[in-house]
């Protein structure tokens, strides 16, 4: 009898990563589709609403993504504890992750409700700031649901069960679109609430999604070993500190990256309405494609974390290499889409037959041509970040991100945009340069870290410290 051929280890790792990444990518796409839907609905309200709403979205994302980054520590730490067979650690980390989420939601919402004077001092157009403030009246109510959902998503994904996250997220997209459309067009007797209505719908959907995922976890037999309700009302300073130690640099990394794009939005706001609207269209298009490496990156963190917790360092390194290579190839495909069919993409946001939209559309098309290169760099750096975080290391990603985004990307964007008179196109080339530097540095950092760990720790040793 001929021996049965076994698949190469890298194929097994890729299949495992993709099996987990599939639902996570769908979930990320669904969350982004909500923002995409919001942006499309802003476009239906007109270019003024699109510009003002874009400023509001940029401001919200800067704060919300920092909080989401901190909460990402839940999934990483739970994956490591799960790999080591520590059930109590899994439960307590998830419970305290919820407490951390609720506290940050309160602080973040308070800041967003008082943001208008800050935006005016930063030189933003007064009309745009007023419309952004209108959008931010209701949108911060989404934060408790968003962050709670992210905690529970990290918990269930670390256990290898990302399917429920995908189903609930896709349902959320449908509800978000339906209610947004009804409010904007005044269907069924609903009032025309404009930007405030878009924010309200997002808040209702986010909290509903968190509630549905919590109910699923409570009732499904697969979570019987993890009674999250028992001891939930007794937060632990020890676990909160552990989450904060890892989460703070992750949140800091998210903040410096989102801050770079917020800085770019402020540059566009200073240039004019057309530049801001075109930037928002191009950025939302790029962000949709970006959800694929984000989902793969999150799956890599879970997979590498489980290997790391079990002391399987060779497998952890292989998972990282496979994930980075495959995800980068995926982004090349999106780069071709933006290069070959930019008008089709921009047409999703604005009516190309309306002469009033001509300037915005033409500029957005030019920005998407830059995005064709942009996507590969952004995807690769995100994948490498996810791989490094699987080893319970967020400080490295933060320091590299801070240096590449703010010592290279932001100065280059400002110089190309204003001093070289490149305008919006120059700003985007500056962003691309910062992301290219980050991608290169993070991939090198991943290789050095895994080499160092393999030299220092024998295979089979559990590494929870």
315: buried, middle or exposed (CB in 10 Å: 19+, 13-18, 0-12)?
A: buried
258 CB neighbour count, 10 Å cutoff = 21
What residues does each domain of the chain span?
Answer: 9-456
Q: Residue 354 corresponds to which tokens in the numbers above?
A: 């309306």
Q: How far apart are CA 57 and CA 59, in angstroms?
A: 5
Q: How far apart are CA 140 and CA 120, in angstroms?
A: 20
C-alpha distances in Å from residue 212, one per residue of 55, 163, 166, 174, 219: 31, 13, 12, 15, 11
pLDDT (tens digit per residue) in 121-162: 777 777 778 777 777 888 899 999 999 999 999 999 989 888
Q: How far apart are CA 432 and CA 371, in angstroms?
A: 8
pLDDT (tens digit per residue) in 292-319: 888 899 899 989 988 998 888 999 999 9
C-alpha distances in Å from residue 149, one per residue of 111, 279, 382, 453: 21, 29, 21, 33
Residue at token pair 């075109």: 278
Residue at token pair 């890599």: 300
Q: How many CA atoms does the CB half-sphere of 171 hold within 13 Å?
A: 14
User: By the 8 A CB rule, do 416 and 362 touch?
Assistant: no
All residues at 6 or more sequence positions from 400 whose CB lies less than 8 Å from its CB, including other chains: 438, 441, 442, 445
Q: DSSP letters along 174-205, please? A: HHHHHHHHHHHHTGGG----HHHHHHHHHHHH
pLDDT (tens digit per residue) in 190-214: 666 667 778 888 899 999 999 999 9
pLDDT (tens digit per residue) in 45-55: 677 777 777 77
Q: How far apart are CA 255 and CA 364, in angstroms?
A: 25
Output the CA torsion 247→32→412→275 (10° steps). Answer: -140
Which residues of the chain are modeled with pLDDT < 70?
Answer: 1-7, 36, 43-45, 184-194, 351-353, 356, 457-465
Q: How far apart are CA 99 and CA 92, in angstroms?
A: 11
Residue 461, pLDDT score: 46
Residue 191, pLDDT score: 66
Residue 364, pLDDT score: 84
253: buried, middle or exposed (CB in 10 Å: 19+, 13-18, 0-12)?
A: buried
User: By the 8 A CB rule, do 111 and 63 touch?
Assistant: yes
The b-or-e profile of 94-114 (16+ CB within 10 A means b, else e) is: bbbbbbbbeebbeebbeebee
pTM greater than the 0.75 cutoff:
yes
Angle between helices 358-389 and 423-456 (to 10 degrees): 10
Q: How many CA atoms does the CB half-sphere of 455 hold within 13 Å?
A: 6
Short-list 437, 417, 291, 330, CA closest to 377: 437
């Amino acid at each position: 009898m001929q021996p049965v051929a076994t698949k190469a280890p890298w194929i097994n790792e890729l299949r495992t990563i993709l099996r987990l990444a599939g639902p996570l990518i769908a979930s990320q796409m669904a969350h982004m589709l909500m923002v995409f839907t919001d942006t499309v609905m802003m476009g239906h309200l007109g270019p003024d609403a699109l510009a003002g709403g874009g400023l509001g979205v940029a401001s919200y994302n800067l704060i919300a993504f920092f909080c989401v980054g901190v909460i990402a520590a839940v999934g990483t730490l739970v994956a490591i504890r799960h790999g080591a067979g520590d059930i109590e650690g899994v439960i307590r980390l998830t419970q305290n992750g919820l407490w951390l989420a609720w506290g940050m939601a309160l602080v973040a919402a308070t800041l967003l409700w008082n943001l208008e004077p800050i935006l005016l001092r930063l030189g933003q157009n007064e009309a745009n700031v007023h419309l952004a403030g209108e959008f931010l009246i209701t949108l911060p109510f989404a934060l408790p649901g968003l962050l709670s959902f992210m905690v529970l998503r990290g918990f269930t994904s670390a256990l290898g069960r990302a399917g429920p996250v995908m189903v609930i997220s896709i349902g959320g997209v449908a509800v978000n679109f339906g209610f947004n459309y009804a409010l904007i067009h005044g269907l069924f007797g609903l009032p025309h609430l404009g930007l405030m209505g878009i924010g309200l719908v997002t808040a209702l959907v986010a909290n509903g999604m968190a509630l549905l995922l919590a109910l699923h976890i409570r009732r499904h037999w697969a979570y019987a070993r993890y009674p999250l309700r028992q001891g939930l009302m007794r937060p632990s300073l020890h676990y909160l500190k552990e989450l904060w130690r890892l989460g703070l640099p992750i949140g800091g990394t998210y903040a410096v990256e989102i801050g770079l794009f917020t800085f770019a939005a402020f540059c566009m706001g200073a240039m004019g309405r057309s530049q801001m609207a075109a930037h928002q269209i191009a950025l939302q298009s790029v962000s949709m494609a970006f959800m694929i490496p984000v989902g793969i990156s999150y799956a890599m963190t879970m997979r590498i974390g489980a290997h790391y917790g079990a002391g399987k360092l060779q497998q952890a390194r292989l998972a990282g290499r496979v994930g980075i290579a495959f995800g980068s190839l995926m982004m090349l495909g999106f780069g071709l889409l933006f290069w070959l069919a930019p008008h089709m993409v921009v047409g999703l946001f604005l009516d190309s037959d309306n002469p009033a939209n001509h300037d915005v559309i033409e500029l957005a098309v030019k920005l998407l041509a830059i995005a064709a290169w942009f996507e590969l760099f952004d995807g690769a750096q995100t994948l490498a970040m996810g791989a490094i975080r699987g080893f319970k290391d967020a400080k490295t990603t933060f320091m590299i991100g801070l240096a590449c985004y703010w010592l290279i990307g932001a100065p280059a964007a400002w110089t190309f945009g204003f001093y070289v008179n490149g305008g919006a196109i120059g700003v985007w080339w500056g962003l691309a340069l910062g992301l290219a530097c980050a991608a290169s540095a993070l991939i090198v950092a991943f290789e050095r870290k895994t080499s160092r760990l393999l030299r220092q720790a024998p295979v089979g040793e559990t590494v929870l410290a």
